[in-house]
Amino acid sequence: MSKKYDDAPEVNEEVMNGLNAPENLSEVEGFKTSSRGLRGDLSEQMENRVTGNVTEYGKQMIKFHGSYIQDDRDRRAEREEKKLEWSYSFMIRLRIPGGDITAKQWLALQESCDTRATGVVKITTRQTVQFHGVVKARMKPTMQDFEDMGLDAIAACGDVNRNVITGSNPQYEAFHAEVHEFAAKISAHLLPKTGAFKEVWLDGEKLKEGEESEPDPLYQDRYLPRKFKVAITTPPHNDVDVYVHDIGLIAVGEGDTLHGFNASIGGGLGSTHGNAKTYPRRGDVIGFIPKDKVLDFCWQVAAVNRDYGNREERHQAKLKYTIDRLGLDFIVGELEKRLGFEFEPVREVPAFTHRGDPFGWVKDHQSKWYYTAFVESGRVIDEDGYNIKSAMKEIAEADISGLRFTANQNVMFTYVEEANKAKLEEILAKHGITIDAMNATRREAMACVALPTCPLALAEGQRYLPEFVGKVEALQEKHGIIDRPITTRITGCPNGCGRSYAAEIGLVGKNPGKYVLRLGGDYEGERLNSVYLEEADETEILETLDKLLGEYANDAKEGESFGDYSQRTLFS
């Protein structure tokens, strides 16, 4: 740590027990501290035309700039035959706190994606969008497009605070609007201070030789030990899966007044196959935070993990492991000490009732209308007469709404005036966008990207989801329970981007065609699921589900969800 952070809080070295000795730090830690504020040698690497890839150092650096290098794994053999290196390209993820953009921004985004990427904008579970297939030469122009439309990709990946997500549904509480604004406020408060982004992508002024990067009291020169995620929701809706993030904020208010948030810390879904030290963890709700203290609170939670998180093993670096290593009491005590106040007891809030999106129209408390349209796996494409890409374009061109990406990877047309509802419906109908034809299981299903682009994927994700859901639906039909939604999620690897650990039927990729089958999560998102089959192929999974769904159809209690039934009969 450099000298300019002398005023940083004192770290209790005793509890660290020798952890994070300089000689034991992971390689990535060295990358970060030597990067001069996340610059590294990215500018040079982007100019290198011998390869479309970047070095290991570059890979770590570019994450902080919202990007991963990927290659089309389906095409490796063919590229090798052509005497070309693998088909490398970049994924770029934007930072869109709360998922809100204007119609104009959407048009510019889609055009940029058509010109410079695959043309398929992907809505993610973090309420943002990402481009795939951006080759190296197009990285700078794409980043410059974002700048031109008033957006950026800063800290959308990497060991920093990621895109802040917040419940998208405005219908329940009048204070929802104020809650929603906190996504942008927290994002701004925890944004890295470095000028690297401007320098690397926007031809900003270059740091001079020997000059130090902009001081950053939160991230210092070492950033966080691992990614850090904040989610906010307004009960009874839990579309963000509030307990599975480093910080989960549950809004507390009355009428149109927001009071503050019940705060959960230490949630997280990532794990590693075969490593028992890794596990998904539900967050602990530690108290109520008044709204004027919540920015400080988020900042200090990140700072505590900055100081106490494991920087030797990245698999042990997240806040959830720090809490389990040092104890929740220690962490809470450290937070209260740093914040200068004690947490108030948790306040009573309405129970969560569901996580799925409110498809179709809902109205907020200022008489504005919101229409949520289903986007399968978040992929904005025209397919089989369901032309969501065309519909979004035409609605944006009509300039009668804003757009909001939901944590379920759908799109919501926001702030629609009563007078414009018919127009919006007309455009949707014209492009085949309907809700009715689809049953709830499909509408609420979710998957991560996985193959062929994600370098971490062990099995298929979004490409397989429609087929798998169809087969689950067939079983539901067979047992006469098609009208009961079952939260079904697939994630291509144990990192869990598809949030399969918080599903009633959760598949976690293990090998090509093989998944861990997890059951017993609840419909509302209060409880994580458990492993039922360690490594199963589709046939085995479907046979298992056939049997269980049959039993569920016959034996379930009144109103009991499949998740609750599985938990009761299989794991209790």
Partner 1 sequence: MITKDQQKLLDQLLASASHEQKIWLAGYMQGQVGGASAVAAAPVANKPPVMIYFATETGNSKGLSLQMMKAIKAAGYKVKNSPVNRLKVKDIKPDVLAIFVASTHGEGDPPEAAVPFFDAVREAPDGALEGLNYAVAGLGDSSYEIFCGAATDLDKELERLGGKRFQDNALFDVDYASHTPSWIEKTVKSMDDLFGVETAPVANVVADAQEVRTGRGYTRLEPITGTVKEIVNLNDIDSNKETYHIEIEYDDESVIYSCGDAAGIIVPEDQNGGDPAPRLYSIASSPSYHEGEVHLTVALATHANDDGTTGYGIYSKYLADLQQGDEITFYIHQNQMFNLASDDKDIVMIGPGTGIAPFRSFIYERSERGADGRNWLFFGDQHMHCDFLYQAEWQEHLATETLHRIDLAFSRDQEHKIYVQDRLRENAADVVAWIDGGATIYLCGNKDPMSKDVDQALIDILSEQKNISNDEAADMLADLEENDRYLKDVY
Q: Active-site residue numbers?
A: 93, 162, 227, 229, 448, 454, 493, 497
Q: Judged by CB under 8 A, which of 24, 34, 51, 511 binds partner 1?
A: 51
User: Per CB under 8 A, does 135 bind partner 1?
Assistant: yes
Element (DSSP H or E) covering residue 93? strand 88-93
Rounded to a whole number of angstroms, the minimum distance from the CB of residue 118 to partner 1 is 11
Nearby residues of 507 by Cβ (< 8 Å), 6 or more positions away: 468, 489, 490, 491, 500, 515, 516, 517, 518, 541
Residue nearer to partner 1 on the CB measure, 62 or 516: 62
Binder of partner 1 out of 80, 114, 383, 537 (CB under 8 A): 80
Would you count residue 387 as binding partner 1 (CB under 8 A)? no
- Cα gap 282→272, rounded to integer Å: 16
- In this structure, the strands spanning 257-265 and 284-290 are antiparallel
**Alpha helical stretches, state H, 290-361:** 294-308, 319-326, 328-339
Binding flag, residue 52, partner 1 (CB under 8 A): yes
Residues 6+ apart with CB under 8 A from 339: 293, 296, 297, 300
- Element at 58 (helix H, strand E): helix 56-64
Residues 302-331 that bind partner 1 (CB under 8 A): none
- One residue of 77, 84, 429, 474 binding partner 1 per CB under 8 A: 84
Q: Which of 14, 17, 49, 539 binds partner 1 (CB under 8 A)?
A: 49
CB-nearer residue toward partner 1: 2 or 51: 51
Among 70, 87, 410, 476, binds partner 1 (CB under 8 A): 87
User: Please, which residue, 87 or 488, has the CB nearer to partner 1?
Assistant: 87
Which tokens hold the place of 323? 């809490």
Q: How far is the CB of 154 from partner 1 (least distance, A)?
A: 24
50 binds partner 1 (CB under 8 A): yes
Q: Which of 82, 193, 430, 478 binds partner 1 (CB under 8 A)?
A: 82
89 interacts with partner 1 by CB under 8 A: yes
End-to-end CA separation in angstroms for the chain: 48
Q: How far is the CB of 452 from partner 1 (least distance, A)?
A: 14
In the bound state with partner 1, the residue whose beta carbon lies nearer, of 77 and 188, is: 77
Q: How far is the CB of 207 from partner 1 (least distance, A)?
A: 24
CA max distance for the chain: 73
Residue labelled with tokens 């934007």 = 94
Partner residues linked to 250 by β-bridges? 233, 262
DSSP states along 246-261:
SEEEEEEEETTEEEEE
Interface with partner 1 by CB under 8 A: which residues?
A: 49-52, 79-85, 87, 89, 135-138, 141
